[in-house]
């Protein structure tokens, strides 16, 4: 169990450190778009949105008895017209320790999960252990990031930062994990 704990801890730290360097180093500055009308837009949102949440505009009233019909009409009548998905918060919070702690926790849990599989798996070769670890990142990519891009039309500049962090960051963690969970003292490629 100590080997799983240490392997997962180091892998999670590597991943979190990579993400931190990418964000704090300014490598993801194109993550979102800029508008010079942000104050006007925020004023309109403040006047029209009732609380924190995700808003898809246009959309039908979820409490309407004819919601399905309204959704269908909106879909038909708005083809080729603008639409928006808005993540709205009534107040901006500063960067707090809880964000960092949760980021570290999620990275460590990911590391422990892969460490558990590699420890109990019969993966003799370094390349197989590396591939098994990378498969976790690929699963998250296909079922998370790219799936969201497909269904919600997330723009490339938004998705790119997540893909880079996931694939490059987890590649570094996978290099460590594949080496650390070597069943013998010699490196077998």
146-169 burial: b if 16+ Cβ within 10 Å, else e = beebeeeebeeeebebbeebbeeb
User: Is residue 170 within 8 Å of residue 136, measured between CB atoms?
Assistant: yes
Q: What is the pLDDT of residue 184?
A: 55
Q: What is the pLDDT of residue 157?
A: 87
User: Is residue 107 within 8 Å of residue 16, measured between CB atoms?
Assistant: yes
**Percent of the chain whose predicted confidence (pLDDT) is above 70:** 97
Q: What is the pLDDT of residue 106?
A: 96
Q: What is the pLDDT of residue 189?
A: 47
- In the three-class reduction of DSSP (H, G, I as helix; E, B as strand; rest coil), residue 108 is classed as helix
**Token pair for residue 104?**
């570290």
Q: What is the pLDDT of residue 7?
A: 95
Q: Is 9 buried (19+), middle (13-18) or exposed (0-12) by CB count in 10 A?
A: middle
Q: What pTM was computed for the model?
A: 0.83
Q: What is the pLDDT of residue 187?
A: 47
16-30 burial: b if 16+ Cβ within 10 Å, else e = bebbbebeeeeebee
Residue segments in the chain with a per-residue pLDDT below the cut of 70: 184-189
């Amino acid at each position: 169990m100590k080997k799983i704990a240490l392997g997962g801890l180091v892998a999670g730290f590597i991943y979190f450190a990579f993400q931190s360097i990418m964000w704090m180093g300014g490598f993801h500055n194109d993550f979102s778009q800029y508008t010079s009308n942000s104050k006007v837009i925020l004023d309109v949102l403040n006047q029209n949105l009732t609380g924190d949440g995700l808003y898809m505009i246009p959309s039908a009233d979820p409490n309407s008895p004819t919601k399905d019909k309204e959704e269908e009409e909106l879909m038909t009548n708005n083809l080729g017209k603008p639409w928006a998905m808005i993540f709205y918060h009534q107040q901006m919070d500063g960067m707090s320790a809880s964000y960092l702690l949760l980021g570290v926790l999620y990275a460590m849990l990911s590391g422990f999960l892969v460490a558990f599989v590699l420890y109990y798996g019969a993966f003799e070769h370094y390349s197989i252990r590396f591939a098994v670890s990378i498969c976790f990142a690929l699963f998250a990519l296909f079922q998370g990031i790219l799936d969201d891009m497909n269904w919600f039309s997330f723009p490339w500049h938004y998705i790119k930062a997540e893909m880079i962090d996931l694939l490059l960051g987890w590649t570094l963690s996978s290099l460590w994990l594949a080496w650390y969970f070597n069943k013998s003292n010699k490196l077998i490629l």
